[in-house]
Amino acid sequence: MSRFWKPGTEKPVLVDDEEGGVLFYSSLSSSSGYGHASIEKQRQRLPVYKYRTSILYLVENHATTVIVGETGSGKTTQIPQYLKEAGWAEGGRMIACTQPRRLAVQSVASRVSEEMGVKLGEEVGYTIRFEDITNADVTRIKFLTDGVLLREMMDDPLLSKYSVIMVDEAHERSLSTDILLGLLKKIQRRRPELRLVISSATIEAKSMASFFNNSRKRQEEELGPSKEPAILSVEGRGFNVQTFYAEEPVPDYIRAAVSTVSSIHDEEPVGDILVFLTGQDDIEAAIQMLTEDTEVTRKPGLFVLPLYSGLPRADQDLVFSPTPRGKRKVIISTNIAETSLTLEGVVYVVDCGFSKQRFYNPMTDIENLVVAPISKASARQRAGRAGRVRPGKCYRLYTEEYFLNEMSAHGIPEMQRSNLVSCVIQLKALGIDNILGFDWPASPSPEALIRALEVLYSLGVIDDDAKLTSPAGFQVAEIPLDPMISKMILASSDYGCSEEVITIAAVLSIQSIWFSVRGSQKELDEAKLRFAAAEGDHVTFLNVNKGFIESGKSSNWCHKNHVNYQAMKKVQEIRQQLRRIAQRLGIALKSCEGDTRAVRKAITAGFFANACRLEAFSHNGLYKTIRSSQEVYIHPSSVLFRVNPKWVIFHSIVSTDRQYMRNVISIDPSWLTEAAPHFYQHQQLKSRAQ
């Protein structure tokens, strides 16, 4: 028996180390109503439950606690509840738990509210960008993306309403997680009472702990928690997973995944299959193959489900619902199922060996999303997903030789392979001026930082001293979007087209407004033609939005036009929020009534850095970026595909066999010098034009 202080109270509470916090539990069991017994049992069966007492002890006594544990051991859903039960959310304080992914935020928040028997949005809530399901008066446990927590620091730099902040999935090393970790380390010095819980995969735990090691020689009189981080490892109860490798390199991983699924289904006993592919396109292609393959479809009991971040809510629920007896689920997922979400019942994993990753090249200033090999660490995580309910099998669609000799041990933190424009402006807005000297968990390259400063300077967001300009810099920082989009919104005020530009910004912040059904590409292309604008994709979005509004926001209309109804409803919601933000910033809400020149000029004011020119005598649509002469093409999904105007601006780049520009508009090159005289000199444009 040991004695601990229950945080927030003066009363010592006895906790039995062996049994794992029985006394803390008494209050909970009395308040839990009928029907909760089984949920309670489930909670107690999770590996993390045995560590409940130790976790609470460590959090009480250490400023930072790093918790390592397998996916599914209960870290995300249980630790915030333990903290609340132990009193960390008393006296109006809150417990925050961050996730790198929006879908994970929604999913765990709804699971935890269910476990606690409360309505989502009350005691347990969540916030993701443009969606706040919390109630400031009653929410005690809040799940949120790390990006949203960074935003909250703009109003509350010390995050004073939180008593404990749990940074979950820290091993993913997402850009926002790393910025957050750097800032939390600073906050800790000002708020000794704040506690951090960092949850991470094994490989990153030590470096996380050493990053947060703030201990100097402890002075005798120094009170409060130890500044030295604690590491606790939750022993899971994962089962053995047998690994199989491809005998030879696989030329087409989608096809290989499909045939692997089919042979597992033929030869192996029941148990769900989890397939890792790279993105929505891959996933849809695989589903199409699986459902068209009559050999497979004739077999009863197989049902195939997609899992990726833009998935509608109802489809998400299907993935998490239990598999009926005797049936077999096949979940085809992006790496969201690698660590962020637990899927019960998976016995077989098929790993294609790739994921979509961001890569930024400061020399060309192009950031693109590339299908790239995963690391050994990821491959192990993926394999581990097979051993949750019983011994499992993992099928790697690459050779053992490749795994051993060519796969890198770890991934590269996103910080070191991203465009840093958003990161820099956020730090500036928080008053951190010495960006190069900032204490990062992994330092970004000086070239990338300098590029970011250069772009921000050209956007008029920072001045000669690299300080945020007033008011433009502060306004851009205030809008929760990419700085280039924010700048486009600001500029729309000058061009009298804020209503239109806000619509465009809303459309660009969701995945797609089109509804793509397998096998109906032709109908979709025809539908697109009905709205297609000669000026480009952004203006096409305006046409779709107009049609949607005129139809009375009808789902029937959406259906007929291959427009995604849920996405359009979301666009309207985001529009309303952006309009409110614009009003607060003093941007006049005004429509240009179809003057697409004004709209395109406003877009140019934000995206001038992405300007490209069609190569003279190019018959295959080759463009080069003005800044760095990179070869790019218009993506086939763009309405300007094959139209090939001379001068264009793109919103983003995706690479497959080539670098493709997505969401493209045509511009007049003179707008570039008007928008960014420092960036483009007349001379430069003229020489390019020859």
Which residues lie near ligand CDP (CB under 6 A)? 46, 69, 71-78, 107-108, 111, 320, 342, 344
> How far is it, in rounded angstroms, from Cα 506 to Cα 541?
10
Beta bridge partners of 234: 69
| Cβ at position 296, least distance to ligand CDP in Å | 27
Angstrom distance (rounded) from CA 675 to CA 681: 11
> Is 487 exposed, middle or buried, given 0-12, 13-18 or 19+ CB atoms closer than 10 A?
buried
**Binding at 357: pick from Mg ion, ligand CDP, none (beta carbon under 5-8 Å per type):** none
Which residues from 44-83 bind Mg ion, rule CB under 5 A?
76
Please tell me the distance from the alpha carbon of residue 79 to that of residue 97, in angstroms, as a whole number.
9
> In 35-174, which ranges are continuous DSSP H helix?
37-45, 52-61, 75-85, 102-116, 146-155
Burial of 372 (0-12, 13-18, 19+ CB in 10 A): middle
Count of Cβ atoms closer than 10 Å to residue 184 Cβ: 21
Of 197 and 502, which has the nearer Cβ to Mg ion?
197
Quick count: other Cβ atoms within 10 Å of Cβ 221? 5
Minimum CB separation from Mg ion for residue 144, in Å?
14
Instruction: Select from 526, 529, 523 the least CA-distant residue to 543.
Output: 529
Q: Which does 107 bind (CB under 5 to 8 A by kind): Mg ion, ligand CDP, none?
A: ligand CDP
For residue 368, which of 379, 380, 354, 357 has the smallest C-alpha distance?
Answer: 357
Contacts of 259 (CB under 8 A, 6+ apart): none
Of 383-402, binders to Mg ion (CB under 5 A) are none
Q: Which is nearer to ligand CDP, 70 or 414 (CB)?
A: 70
Q: Which is nearer to ligand CDP, 42 or 215 (CB)?
A: 42
CB of 62 to ligand CDP, least distance (A): 20
Nearer to Mg ion, 76 or 492 (CB): 76
Asked if 167 contacts 75 with a C-beta cutoff of 8 angstroms, the reply is: no
Helix (H) or strand (E) holding 142: strand 141-145
77 binds, among Mg ion, ligand CDP, none (CB under 5 to 8 A by kind): ligand CDP
Partner interacting with residue 127 (select from ligand CDP, Mg ion, none; CB below 5-8 Å by kind): none
Please give the C-alpha separations between residue 240 and each of 47, 236, 348, 385, 394, in angstroms, as whole numbers: 16, 12, 12, 11, 10
Indicate the residue among 266 and 344 with the shorter CB distance to ligand CDP.
Answer: 344
Pick between residue 234 and residue 626 the one whose CB is nearest to Mg ion. 234
Q: Which does 344 bind (CB under 5 to 8 A by kind): Mg ion, ligand CDP, none?
A: ligand CDP
Q: How far is the CB of 280 from ligand CDP (least distance, A)?
A: 21
> CA-to-CA distance for 279 and 369, rounded, in angstroms?
11
Q: Which is nearer to Mg ion, 101 or 227 (CB)?
A: 101
Peptide bond into 471 cis (omega under 30): yes
Taking CA atoms, 403 is separated from 246, 351, 352, 397, in Å, by 11, 12, 12, 10
Binding footprint of Mg ion, residue count (CB under 5 A)? 1
333 close to 358: Cβ distance less than 8 angstroms: no
Give least dist CB 327 to ligand CDP, A: 18
Task: Report long-range pairs for 213-221 (Cβ below 8 Å, ≥24 apart).
Answer: 214/63, 214/185, 214/188, 214/189
Smallest separation, CB 339 to Mg ion (Å) = 7
Q: Which does 225 bind (CB under 5 to 8 A by kind): Mg ion, ligand CDP, none?
A: none
Structure tokens at 519: 């096998």
Q: How far apart are CB 320 and Mg ion at their closest, in Å?
A: 14
Minimum gap (Å) between residue 243 Cβ and ligand CDP: 21
- Residue least distant from Mg ion (Cβ): 76
The least CB distance from residue 99 to Mg ion, in Å, is 8
Q: Which is nearer to ligand CDP, 72 or 87 (CB)?
A: 72
Q: Which does 69 bind (CB under 5 to 8 A by kind): Mg ion, ligand CDP, none?
A: ligand CDP
Contact 345, 392 (CB under 8 A): no
Residues 194-253 that bind Mg ion (CB under 5 A): none
Which one, 278 or 339, has the nearer CB to ligand CDP? Answer: 339
Residue closer to Mg ion by CB (options 341, 665) is: 341
Half-sphere exposure of 635 (CA within 13 A, CB side): 19
By beta-carbon proximity to Mg ion, the closer residue of 76 and 426 is: 76
Q: Which does 73 bind (CB under 5 to 8 A by kind): Mg ion, ligand CDP, none?
A: ligand CDP
Nearest-approach distance from CB 114 to ligand CDP, in angstroms: 8
Binder of residue 177, out of ligand CDP, Mg ion, none (CB less than 5 to 8 A by kind):
none
Smallest gap, in angstroms, from Cβ of residue 168 to Mg ion?
Answer: 6
Report the interface residues with Mg ion, using CB under 5 A. Answer: 76
